[in-house]
Amino acid sequence: MAGVLVFSEQDRLAVDLLAWAQMQGDLFGPATVAALGAGARRRAQWFLQYQPVRVYVCEHPALEAAVDSVLARALALIAEEVDAGLIILAATRRGRSIAPRLAELLGAGCVTEAIELEVELVTGRYALGGNTVCREIITTPTKVVAVMPGVLEPPTAGPPSGEIIELELALEAPKAALVERREKPKTAVDIAQSERLLCVGRGLGREEDIGLIQDLAQALDAEVACTRPLASELGWMSEDRMIGISGKKCSPRLMFSVGVSGQVQHTVGIMGARVIVAINSDTNAPIFRLADYGIVGDLYEVLPALERVLRARAGN
Amino acid sequence: LYVETMHWSGTTRERASACNIVSDERWDVKIVVCMKEVIDLSQLRFKADKRTPIMEGLPRVLGQFDKNALEGALQIKEAGRDIEVIALSAGALKLRDTIKEALAMGADAAVLVLDPLLARADFTFSAHVLVQAIHKIGDVDLVLMGEGSDDEYTGQIPARMAASLGWPQITTVRELGLPEPSRVRATRDLEQELEVLECELPAIVSVTSELNTPRLPPLTAILKAGRKPVQEWSLSELLSEEVPSEGQIRVLSNLAPAQERKQEMLEGDLEQQIASLLRALEGEGAI
């Protein structure tokens, strides 16, 4: 009988996918989740509180380093084992690397970075640099979908149920060897929790001008955030202040976006903001289409003026 | 300069370099950079409904992340080894002009798969075409490309090509080097961590914009680019099958999202704009 296979290297994300699959009832068949690599048996026990029909467990030594190509091979073998018509992964960067490789092995169509996943398996994802949402369906019999983290509702845990099945998979050692994994450096601030954010992008010309941003942030009582180029390319800010696909997803009550063009890689991280104010010198910047209030102007003129007014207001 | 008949013999590394399209001498390492021709998104405009993108008449450029990949290849080349860098692209005839930017940046040669039918091919077929081109070029050690394309941004091509070639893949790479001619070392940028991998060549690597800042070619290089070798293949020279009439994905719509934001552009001079902004934010209880 056909079924749905669910996988993420992050267990927390896997259960979101599992819950979605279970909500579809019999549409795709029973939902099974794969626990692969180091600690898989222990993790399988944890999965049971989210009531999958089955957890497939494999602790094959080839999976220990969690190399994408081996994970894709293992999932392809399990998909065949359970006759999965649908395989859902979380669209982390690793998931986005595994999903198309798995799809190629299975001869399956694949959609990555889905921000919408509807009952009839209509997916939506950003295209044209984030300007559009492309809604599409996979036409192959076997389908692979990688869903962006945070798109699906997290389930609540219940009494454990489901079957744990240990698999012997014929896997070869990965050709790519893991040298090391290291955590990215962090600062004390978690912008994902901030009520107010002032986010700055490439419109800021020089690193010395960050003072201008910090002054306004102080007047606004906001934390400073940035787009990817300012952190990971220019190194003007630490990467944990970065908003977007490779950074944080933020839901402040008020967000000022300054000198940010509004590319998708960034804007997926600000969708949860309640009110967005955009300040940009380019009238056509996509950010204005995502903003509630827009000011077209040079940030070097707008920011000091705004700060003066805010400070005068606070003084009253 | 060209070897006109190039038949892939089925093995790559043992074979003599019959397919070296730049010169007759054997290069130590051959890097192919896959580069996609995309529309210039900075020029994108919408129809009166504000949702339908106007795709016609847009200038075409090389994908920005693919240029990071080319820059990465050029930096490896300039580290002093005997390395050949080939820009590979599949698309319609306009590519002949677009690819000159890659040659001007410093690619030694270009290989173009040209066919009007490629305009309607889906990305899975494009991956298949690129794989066949890699086979036909022969002796390829390292394939580089951007983590995704500016227009579709599926990010599927590197992994699909790697699976099809049976090669390892290292995706979303922000640091890249060849510690030895037969070995790549790459640092992947994942959400919370950095992952360093090493593997024997051949391999496929996709890169992020953190890898480097692509060079702007000087005018002299742009002028000389037209004299660099460009190999053109038609689809039929590369594969026997037809372009499938339907891809693996059917697009239902591709529109700008319906607007839930107010999109209110503030008017007047700066002082008035700021005053109305603060009034509006107060009204919303945001400040």
> Per-residue pLDDT tens for A13-33?
999 999 999 998 888 899 999
Task: Mark which residues 163-222 of B lie under 8 Å from A by CB.
Answer: 163-164, 167-172, 174, 185, 188-200, 203, 208-210, 213
Question: Which residue from A132, A258, A125, A294 is spatially nearest to B44, judged by alpha carbons?
Answer: A132
Residue of B38, B128, B190 to mutate, testing the A interface (most A Cβ within 10 Å of its Cβ) = B190
What's residue B100's pLDDT? 95
> Per-residue pLDDT tens for A55-84?
999 999 999 999 999 999 999 999 999 999
Percent of chain B with pLDDT strictly greater than 90: 68
CB contact under 8 A, A293 and B203: no
Q: What is the DSSP letter of A120?
A: T
Band of pLDDT at residue A2, cut at 50, 70 and 90: confident
Task: Mark which residues 5-44 of B lie under 8 Å from A by CB.
Answer: 41, 44
Please provide the average confidence, as pLDDT, over all residues in chain A. 92
- How far apart (Å, rounded) are the C-alpha atoms in residues B253 and B225? 39
Question: Which residue from A106, A37, A110, A32 is spatially nearest to A68, judged by alpha carbons?
Answer: A37
> Per-residue pLDDT tens for A137-169?
999 999 999 999 888 888 999 999 999 999 999
DSSP string, chain B: ---------S--SSS--TT-SS-SSPPSEEEEEE--EEE-GGG-EE-TTSSSEE-TT--EEE-HHHHHHHHHHHHHHHTTS-EEEEEEEEE-TTHHHHTHHHHHHT-SEEEEEE-GGGGG--HHHHHHHHHHHHHHH-S--EEEEESS-SSS----HHHHHHHHHT--EEEEEEEEEEEETTEEEEEEE-SSEEEEEEEESSEEEEE-GGG--PPPPPHHHHHHHTTS-EEEEEHHHH-SSPPPSS-SEEEEEEEPPPP-S--EE--SSHHHHHHHHHHHHHHTT--
- How far apart (Å, rounded) are the C-alpha atoms in residues B145 and B31? 11
First to last CA, chain A: 71
Question: Which residue from B173, B165, B235 is spatially nearest to B203, judged by alpha carbons?
Answer: B165
Which of chain A's residues have a Cβ under 8 Å away from the Cβ of B252? 122, 135-137
Q: How many CB pairs under 8 A join A and B?
A: 226
The kind and range of the H/E element at A299 are: helix A299-315
CB contact under 8 A, A176 and B170: yes
Nearest-by-Cβ selection for B169 from A97, A293, A294: A97
Band of pLDDT at residue B19, cut at 50, 70 and 90: very low
- How far apart (Å, rounded) are the C-alpha atoms in residues A246 and A268? 10
> Tokens at residue B24, please?
């007759």
> Per-residue pLDDT tens for B88-106?
999 988 899 999 999 999 9
Look at residue B14 and tell me whether its pLDDT is greater than 60: no
CB contact under 8 A, B286 and A93: no
Higher pLDDT among residues B146 and B49, named by residue: B146
Cα dist from A249 to A227, B278, B287, whole Å: 12, 26, 22
> Per-residue pLDDT tens for B52-86?
999 999 999 999 999 999 999 999 999 877 899 99
Look at residue B121 and tell me whether its pLDDT is greater than 90: no
Please provide the average confidence, as pLDDT, over all residues in chain B. 88
Q: What is the mean pLDDT of residues B178-189?
A: 93
Sole residue written with tokens 């805010």: A310
Q: What is the DSSP letter of A110?
A: E
Cα dist from B1 to A189, A277, B24, B109, B279, whole Å: 59, 58, 8, 11, 70
CB contact under 8 A, B155 and A229: no
| Strands across the sheet containing A109-114 | A109-114, A143-147, A84-90, A3-7, A31-36, A54-58, A163-166
Residue of A8, A123, A134 to mutate, testing the B interface (most B Cβ within 10 Å of its Cβ) = A134
Look at residue B10 and tell me whether its pLDDT is greater than 60: no
What's residue A316's pLDDT? 61
CB contact under 8 A, B264 and A109: no
Nearest-by-Cβ selection for B159 from A100, A246, A253: A100
First to last CA, chain B: 69
List, in order, residues 6 or more apart from A32 with CB less than 8 Å away: A3, A4, A5, A6, A52, A53, A54, A55, A56, A82, A84
Nearest-by-Cβ selection for B41 from A129, A232, A295: A129
Which of chain A's residues have a Cβ under 8 Å away from the Cβ of B266? 293-295
What's residue A149's pLDDT? 85
Look at residue A243 and tell me whether its pLDDT is greater than 60: yes
Nearest-by-Cβ selection for B248 from A109, A134, A276: A109
Look at residue B13 and tell me whether its pLDDT is greater than 80: no
Look at residue B11 and tell me whether its pLDDT is greater than 50: no
Which of chain B's residues have a Cβ under 8 Å away from the Cβ of A175? 167-168, 199-200, 203
pTM metric for this prediction: 0.84
Which of chain B's residues have a Cβ under 8 Å away from the Cβ of A132? 53, 254-257
CB contact under 8 A, A178 and B196: yes
Look at residue A310 and tell me whether its pLDDT is greater than 90: yes
Nearest-by-Cβ selection for A127 from B151, B203, B252: B151
Does residue A101 contact residue B163 with C-beta atoms inside 8 Å? yes
Nearest-by-Cβ selection for B155 from A112, A229, A309: A112
Nearest CA in chain A to B171: A97
Residue B235 backbone dihedrals phi, psi, to 5 degrees: -60, -40
List, in order, residues 6 or more apart from A81 with CB less than 8 Å away: A56, A167
Task: Mark which residues 254-293 of A lie under 8 Å from B by CB.
Answer: 254, 264, 274-277, 288-293
Q: What is the mean pLDDT of residues B210-235?
A: 93
Taking each helix axis from N to C end, the angle separating A68-81 and B157-165, rounded to the nearest 10 degrees, works out to 80
Does residue B202 contact residue B167 with C-beta atoms inside 8 Å? yes
CB contact under 8 A, A233 and B209: yes
Question: Which residue from A59, A53, A62 is spatially nearest to A32, judged by alpha carbons?
Answer: A53
Does residue A278 contact residue A260 with C-beta atoms inside 8 Å? yes
